[in-house]
A and B are shown apart, each in its own frame.
Chain A
Amino acid sequence: MTVLTLVGAAVAVGAWFLLLGVVLAATRGPAVRPGPATAALGPQSPAVVDLLTGGWVLSDEAASATLLDLAARRVVTIEEIGPELALVRLGRRDPARGEPDLAPYEQLVLDHVRTLATADGVVATGALAEGARSLGPWWRAFGKAVIAEARAAGLSRPRWSRAQRLLLLGAGAVPMAAVGFAAAAARSGSDGPLGPFAGGAVLTFALLSALVTRLDRECGTDAGGAAASRWLGVREHLAGARFAEAPAAAVTIWGRPLAYAAALGVAGRAVAGLPVAIPADDSRAWSDRGGMWHVVRVDYRGPGPWGRFFWGRAPLHLLGRLAIAAIPSWGVAFLIGILLRAFLDVPVPPELVGLLGALLVVGVPLVGLLLDVGGRGVVEGQVVRLRRRVRSQNENRTTYDHYVALDDGRSRTVRAFGTTAERWEQLTEGDEIRATVSRRVGWVHAAEILTPSRYRTGAPRTP
């Protein structure tokens, strides 16, 4: 009986996968082959072109290409100031013309630029990775809007129709029941058949429906396939135009072809210069403290060879670390002292060598800790980075070290301070804060928000 039900379940599952294969074959998109090289741009926007030529999967380049397209259409301008500095400048609003007529995803990109812009209406291109939005939701909204336009133009469609989805899920009831019966038969000696039946059935259905959802990707229509083929021809033409090394500011000269080249993956430098959909760098932050964008390098380690171990810790935690580090340091130095005395007749007691060894390792941070107990400093600055790093991890719990980097306007390099999880949660990148800190050991004891972040509400906190 058990073998029969197991075979029945296997057959039912196999039959369902056969059905899935048939539906997959019936719904597959058109085969896209590059058309002849052409310079004629089509009516689609660069973002839609990115979707069509990327196998109906949107790439990061779509957002950068959209910004380049906005620049080509004079909604914004991109100006090069130096080899490592270019600016995106918002166009002046003409009250007579009103808002520019933009697609929803173009509006999302423009809004992102607007939220980052300083009073002058300027954002450094590198600062585009800083964000007024959590990257995940923003990217989903962007993708959704691009797909909506492609669908409206008849270039794209969801893989499953409602009927196909219902067919697959409805047919999934058969393997669900068969696996449920097999599970009940296999566990017949236990408390009763209902539990194993329900468990097996629910698990099977969940797996099958997850698979159906996973495979339900965007798919091309025949018109979309033809458009993609033509755009691949444009790509062949643009690939020979040497856009690969053109900076983003070159859009002033090249116009829309550079935006399309970016969408088609042949304008690498311009795309890299406009990191709209790229997470911000941990160690290179852009700050607009003082009203002008500038780069601040963030170091998460303290000074000296032991900075990695003793910087950014709570005073008590640091004390514990110093005690733990002092013992093996003393032991190693003590052994060296014994060897020095035994082989080289060095007339220094090993205990003293041990003490010197321990002081060599823990002396500087210990003195720093003691000095900081007597006098804490106050720092006013803009929060340019909030990061947390895994300190320890086990099956039940993950412990993090939390860091906050402040640009106080005095240096282009800052050391991130450690802080508590609670204080870290209260801060947002872009906040202007006043922090009471232990400068020598790198710990924030208190933080008061002076001006909440105006452009980074809900900024992403990358672990």
Chain B
Amino acid sequence: MSALIVVLVIVVVLILLAVLLVGMYNRLVTSRNAVDNAWAQIDVQLRRRHELIPNLVETVKGYAAHERQTLDAVTAARSAAVSATGPAAQAAAENRLTGALRSLFAVAEAYPQLQAGRNFADLQAELSDTENRIAYARQYYNDAVLGYNNAVQTVPTALVAGVTGFRVREYFTAPDEERGPVAVRFS
């Protein structure tokens, strides 16, 4: 009789343990999916940014063709950003692209006709809005990564994460001067 009770207790404990482990595993999967989804949102906004740049370069070239060095730097930074993979590499490439764009807009200030052009103003505004969306997408992604990494690194979910191959994710970091209220401003 007592042996039966012991077996029953063990079975109940094992079932409870299994339910607990499945719950923790599912939570990890949900968090990881949230991170992947948030990254996809950043990707959408970054693609939009990358698509705007050739038009911007062409527009500037129409007025300031001899500013070749700056224009080439933007084009090269864009190419590096397009081919970058992973949050850390992507963030570094995007930050370099932001720097190159800043130089481009600094150059543009010397050309009043370019500044006055509707096309340039529209591109500038669209790029500024895209930067803002990237900043929000980055915040959204980093919040998702924080939740996921907390789950992966804290007990008891860390035990499940270690066995089932969940690894901490990288944050999408902003350059130092952009940490704070607003991401990038060109206008």
Contacts and interface: CB of A to CB of B under 8 A. Distances in A.
A290 B181 contact: yes
Contact of B133 (A81, A92, A118, A119): A81
A291 interface: yes
Interface stretch (B64-72, B96-104, B136-144, B157-165): B136-144
A401 interface: no
Nearest to A89: B129
Contact of B140 (A85, A122, A290, A291): A85
Given A85-B140, A290-B180, A122 B37 contact: no
A123 B17 CA distance: 44
Contacts of A81: 41, 133, 136-137, 140
Contact of A92 (B37, B125, B137, B143): B125
A292 B143 contact: no
A120 B41 contact: no
B76 interface: no
A82 B41 contact: yes
Task: Summarize A's interface: helix, strand, loop or mixed.
Answer: loop
A120 B125 CA distance: 11
B75 interface: no
Task: Summarize B's interface: helix, strand, loop or mixed.
Answer: helix
Nearest to A83: B37
Nearest to A411: B146
Nearest to B144: A82
Contacts of A149: none
A320 B135 CA distance: 49
B180 A82 contact: no
Residue of A89, A92, A120, A290 ringed by the most chain B CB atoms within 10 A:
A120
Contacts of A292: 135-136, 139, 181-182
Given A290-B180, A290-B181, A82 B132 contact: no
Nearest to B122: A92
Contacts, number: 42
Interface residues of A, number: 18
A298 to B, nearest CB: 16
Contacts of B182: 118-120, 291-292
A144 interface: no
Contact of B143 (A118, A122, A291, A412): A412
Interface string A63-88: 00000000000000001011101010
B169 to A, nearest CB: 16
B38 interface: yes
Contacts of B136: 81, 85, 87, 122, 292-293
A122 to B, nearest CB: 6
List 10 A-B pairs, minimum CB-CB distance, nearest first. A291-B181, A82-B140, A81-B136, A120-B132, A82-B41, A85-B140, A81-B137, A291-B182, A81-B140, A292-B139
Interface of A: 79, 81-83, 85, 87, 89, 92, 118-120, 122, 290-294, 412
Interface of B: 37-38, 41, 125, 129, 132-133, 135-137, 139-140, 143, 146, 180-182
30 contacts: A79-B133, A81-B41, A81-B136, A81-B140, A82-B37, A82-B38, A82-B137, A83-B37, A85-B136, A87-B133, A87-B136, A89-B129, A92-B125, A118-B181, A118-B182, A119-B181, A119-B182, A120-B132, A122-B132, A290-B180, A290-B181, A291-B182, A292-B135, A292-B136, A292-B139, A292-B181, A293-B136, A294-B139, A294-B143, A412-B146
